[in-house]
C-alpha cells in the first residue's frame, strides 16, 4: 500500500509538471511581407524552425509569408502593438518613424556588400535604441542585393523619367521620384505584378531579387544596374513578448538570430549576380546605367544626403562619421 501511495504521488507530480510545461509553451505567429520562395522568407522560416527545435517546442514560431497574415505596410505597427509578437519589415520603409531608418536607402552612400555591412555596424546601436523606445527589440537584419532601375521604356538620363509613374516603397524612393520629375505611387511588394500589369507603375528602383520573384519581365523590358544602395529587412520582436521569455529561451532566440543574420548576408551576396542573369535570360535588357544617368543619380544622392542630415541632425551625422571612419 505504501509503495502504491508513493507511485501515485510520483505520477501526480509528473502530470502536474507536464501540464505546467504544456501551459508554458508559446506560439508566435511571424508575418513576412515577401513571397515564401524569396530568400528573406526562407531565411526567416529557417530561423523559426531553429528556435522551435532548440526549445523543444516551448516556443514555436510560425512564419506567414507574402503578407498573408499582415500586409507588409502594417507589420511594424502589428508588432509594436502586440498584434503579432514578431515580424519582418523593410527598414527604410520606416523613415516616418525616425530618419535613422532611411540611412541604408541614401543613394550611393553604400553600394557594395562590404560598405553595407559597415553602414549596418555603424547604425545598428542607434536603430536598436530607437526601436527600444518604441517597445521593440532588433533581432537581426539582412540586405537586399544592390538596387537597380526597372523601366518599361529605355532610360538614358533622368530626363526620360519625367511624368513616368514610379513605384515608391519608402520616403527615399518618393523623394528620388520627385527629383527625377517622376510620379511616385506607393505599392507594396505583394502588389507589384498587378501594378505594372495595369500601368499603375511604369518604373521602380529595386533589386534583381524583387524582379525575379514577381516575374517582372512579363511587363518591364529594362533593368539598369545602378547599384544605388542595399536596403535591409529587419526582424523585430515586441518587448513585452520578449520579456515574457525566460533567459534560456531568450538566449536560444539570440543564437538563432545571429545564425540567420550570417546566413542571410551570405545568401544575398551569392544570389546578387544570379538574379541579374535570370532577368537577362527571360529577355530583359540588363545593363549598366549610361554615364549621364549615373551622373544624374549621383547628384540626386548628394541632394538627398544633405536633406537627410538636416532631418537626422547630430545623431545622423554621428552615424555617418562612424561609417566613414570604418572605411
Report percent pLDDT > 90 for the chain.
89
Question: Is the CB of residue 28 less than 8 Å from the CB of residue 241?
Answer: yes
Please, are residues 152 and 202 in contact by the beta-carbon 8 Å criterion?
yes
- The answer, yes or no, to whether residue 122 has pLDDT greater than 50, is yes
Q: How far apart are the first and last CA of the chain?
A: 78
77 located within any domain: yes
Domain-located, residue 5: no
- 18 pLDDT exceeds 80? no
Would you say residue 1 lies in a domain? no
Predicted pLDDT at 29: 98
- Answer whether residue 7 shows pLDDT above 50: no
Burial of 278 (0-12, 13-18, 19+ CB in 10 A): middle
Q: Is 21 contained in some domain? A: no
The C-alpha cell that represents 315 in the structure block: 545623431
pLDDT tens-digit map of 264-292: 999 999 999 999 999 999 999 999 999 99
- Evaluate whether residue 143 is within a structural domain: yes
Domain tally, the chain: 1
Q: Could you tell me if residue 4 is inside a domain?
A: no
CATH number at residue 213: 3.40.190.170
| Containing structural domain, residue 296 | 26-325
Across the range 133-144, mean pLDDT stands at 98
pLDDT at 21: 43
Mean pLDDT of 107-111: 93
The secondary element (H helix, E strand) that includes residue 148 is: strand 148-151
**Residue-level pLDDT at 260:** 98
Interatomic CA distance for residues 170 and 92, integer angstroms: 6
With cut-offs at 50, 70 and 90, classify the pLDDT of residue 297. very high
What's the confidence (pLDDT) of residue 15? 44
Is 17 part of any domain?
A: no
Within 13 Å, how many C-alpha atoms sit on residue 275's CB side? 27
Tens digits of residue pLDDT in 71-103:
999 999 999 999 999 999 999 999 999 999 999
Q: Is residue 6 part of a domain?
A: no
pLDDT score, position 169: 86
pTM for this one? Answer: 0.87
Amino acid at each position: 500500500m505504501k509503495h502504491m501511495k508513493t507511485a501515485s504521488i510520483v505520477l501526480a507530480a509528473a502530470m502536474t509538471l507536464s501540464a505546467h510545461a504544456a501551459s508554458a509553451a508559446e506560439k508566435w505567429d511571424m508575418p513576412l511581407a515577401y513571397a515564401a520562395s524569396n530568400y528573406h522568407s526562407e531565411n526567416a522560416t529557417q530561423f523559426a524552425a531553429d528556435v522551435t527545435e532548440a526549445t523543444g517546442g516551448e516556443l514555436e514560431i510560425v512564419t506567414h509569408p507574402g503578407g498573408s497574415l499582415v500586409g507588409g505596410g502594417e507589420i511594424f505597427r502589428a508588432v509594436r502593438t502586440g498584434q503579432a509578437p514578431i515580424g519582418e519589415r523593410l527598414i527604410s520603409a520606416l523613415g516616418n518613424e525616425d530618419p535613422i531608418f532611411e540611412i541604408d536607402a541614401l543613394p550611393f552612400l553604400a553600394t557594395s556588400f562590404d560598405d553595407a555591412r559597415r553602414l549596418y555596424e555603424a547604425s545598428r546601436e542607434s536603430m536598436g535604441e530607437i526601436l527600444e523606445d518604441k517597445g521593440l527589440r532588433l533581432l537581426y537584419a539582412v540586405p537586399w542585393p544592390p538596387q537597380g532601375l526597372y523601366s518599361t521604356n529605355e532610360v538614358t538620363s533622368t530626363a526620360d523619367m519625367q511624368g513616368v509613374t514610379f513605384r515608391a516603397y519608402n520616403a527615399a524612393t518618393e523623394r528620388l521620384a520627385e527629383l527625377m520629375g517622376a510620379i511616385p505611387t506607393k505599392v507594396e511588394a505583394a502588389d507589384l505584378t498587378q501594378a505594372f500589369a495595369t500601368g499603375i507603375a511604369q518604373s521602380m528602383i529595386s533589386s534583381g531579387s524583387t524582379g525575379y520573384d514577381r516575374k517582372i519581365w512579363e511587363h518591364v523590358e529594362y533593368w539598369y544596374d545602378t547599384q544605388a544602395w542595399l536596403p535591409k529587412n529587419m526582424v523585430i520582436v515586441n518587448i513585452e513578448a520578449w520579456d515574457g521569455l525566460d533567459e534560456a529561451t531568450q538566449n536560444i532566440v539570440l543564437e538563432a538570430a545571429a545564425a540567420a543574420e550570417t546566413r542571410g548576408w551570405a545568401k544575398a551576396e551569392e544570389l546578387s549576380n544570379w538574379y541579374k542573369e535570370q532577368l537577362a535570360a527571360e529577355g530583359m535588357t540588363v545593363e549598366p546605367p549610361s554615364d549621364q544617368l549615373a551622373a544624374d543619380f549621383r547628384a540626386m544622392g548628394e541632394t538627398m544626403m544633405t536633406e537627410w542630415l538636416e532631418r537626422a541632425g547630430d545623431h545622423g551625422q554621428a552615424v555617418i562619421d562612424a561609417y566613414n571612419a570604418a572605411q
